[in-house]
Amino acid sequence: MKKYIFGFLVGAIFTVSTTAFADDIKSLVGKAIQGEAPVIVDGQQLDTAIIVDGKSYAPVRVIGEAAGYSVSVDGKKIILKSEVKDTMKTTSENLDKPRTLEDVTTVITRTQEKIERYKEAIQLYELNAQPPRRKRPRRTISKCLIRIKSSSPKLNRNWLTWRNKRQSWKVNNM
């Protein structure tokens, strides 16, 4: 019975919370149009935009096509694709034209500024870089045996045996 009550409460909580979030989505259905405003692009009047609750809603297709986009609708999505492609035109006029001294000096100063920025970045990296960690010396079994023997001189020869099952050393109790 407790599980049914718990399940009912969880379901009620999820139902109430989802309906509260649905209130945030506002629709223009049933709203009154307060006015209209002309849409002007590059000095040409294209269409009018409606004003609802102090916000203007412009027609996307007209503005997108005026800006050089192709507009398509897929279900409830409006897709704008740019038709203008940026391509750099290299002409023989630019290649054959001799450069002036000012052009060369500006290129040199820009290159020197870049080099200085890279040098500063390298210095900053070198200051912030941590030195490589030193590895601990590996302790071999012989070093451990020497350390144990030197610390406890009362032990005899039979104090250490090799365990085959666990592949480890065992100190015998004496």
Between 154 and 75, residue with greater pLDDT: 75
* Residue appearing with tokens 């919370």: 17
Q: Note the Cα 65 to chain centre separation in Å.
A: 32
What's the CA gap between 61 and 70, in Å, rounded?
Answer: 8
Tens of pLDDT along 103-135?
888 889 999 999 998 888 888 777 776 666 666
pLDDT at residue 69, rounded to an integer: 85
pLDDT-derived band at 102, boundaries 50, 70, 90: confident
In the predicted model, is pLDDT for residue 13 greater than 70?
yes
pLDDT at residue 156, rounded to an integer: 47
pTM equals 0.33
Tens of pLDDT along 45-89?
888 888 888 888 888 888 888 888 888 888 888 888 886 565 555
79: nearest Cα among 70, 66, 91, 87: 70
Q: Please provide the DSSP assignment of 125-140 as one string.
A: HHHHPPPPPPPPPPPP
Angle in degrees, CA 138, 139, 144, rounded to 5? 175
Contact 160, 169 (CB under 8 A): yes
